[in-house]
Amino acid sequence: MPQLLSEHACFGGVQRFYQHDAQAIGLPMKFSVYLPPGHEGKQLPVLLYLAGLTCTEETFMTKAGAQRVAAELGIILVAPDTSPRGAGVPGETDSWDFGAGAGFYVDATREPWSRHYRMYSYILELRQLVMREFGADPARCGIFGHSMGGHGALMLALRNPELFRSVSAFAPIAAPTRCPWGEKAFGGYLGEDRDAWKAYDATGLVASGPVRFPQEAACRAAGQPLELRRHAGYDHGYYFISTFVEDHLRFHGRQLG
């Protein structure tokens, strides 16, 4: 049973923060849930949001302004933390892009990270918990995220199409095996054997081959529907996300029915 930490009325629904004993992590984890108005006794669609480096379960709920549209569409929003906290791995808080706040949604296989840094399994565990605790509809679950969390969303959806009916991402790390952030994280969590990285690379999961915009070409080659948008002048932060979050929610709303 997750423990309720706080709740706040918001757009006619309720914004809640929980802590629970996460089996996949072996430590307590926090997450946030937005329940839209009239959620009681209904099987509503649910949308998981995976945040980026340095974020917590609170970031999206305070900065994105998503609850307004979720309330209108009747969608439950769920945001996990971005890594285990207090795992006690030496140096885990030394880097902003590796360790605490930077779990990269993989199950680490390298010591000493492999004991607790198992965010891939944790997201699937949290999905199950949300179905059980909040009566969400397992057939209508989507996932999205930003940056590191965009990587997580794309990768989790591609590997589990039966669990996630819709996916979108803001400025995702779409090809983590081909950029310094991903190389640092995957090397650290998974070791130097790059074959082991493939299961966590969204672009690789769709297709292979080095191209300028790998996600676009890979999707075209594989027949994977993709709507790729570029917005001139916007940066990588939540002023960008808040501007376009409504578009993402309405996309998921259509997909989740």
Contacting positions for its own copies (CB under 8 A):
8-12, 15, 62-63, 65, 67-68, 231, 233-235, 237-240, 242-243, 246
Distances (CA, A) of 21 to 31, 97, 100: 11, 25, 18
Within 10 A of 4 (CB to CB), how many other CB atoms are there?
A: 11
The β-bridge relationship of strands 46-50 and 76-80 is: parallel
In the bound state with its own copies, the residue whose beta carbon lies nearer, of 19 and 243, is 243
In the bound state with its own copies, the residue whose beta carbon lies nearer, of 60 and 186, is 60
In the bound state with its own copies, the residue whose beta carbon lies nearer, of 165 and 248, is 248
Give me 120's structure tokens: 């891939």
What's the closest the beta carbon of residue 124 comes to its own copies, in angstroms? 29
What's the closest the beta carbon of residue 28 comes to its own copies, in angstroms? 24
In the bound state with its own copies, the residue whose beta carbon lies nearer, of 67 and 166, is 67
Angle at 187 between CA 183 and CA 189, to 5 degrees: 120
What's the closest the beta carbon of residue 198 comes to its own copies, in angstroms? 35
Q: Is residue 148 helix, strand or coil?
A: helix
Q: Where are the beta strands (DSSP E) in the chain?
A: 3-10, 13-22, 27-35, 46-50, 76-80, 141-146, 166-170
Residue type, 146: H
Rounded (10°) CA dihedral 23, 28, 32, 37: 70
What's the closest the beta carbon of residue 246 comes to its own copies, in angstroms? 8
In the bound state with its own copies, the residue whose beta carbon lies nearer, of 67 and 215, is 67
Q: Is residue 53 helix, strand or coil?
A: coil
What's the closest the beta carbon of residue 250 comes to its own copies, in angstroms? 14
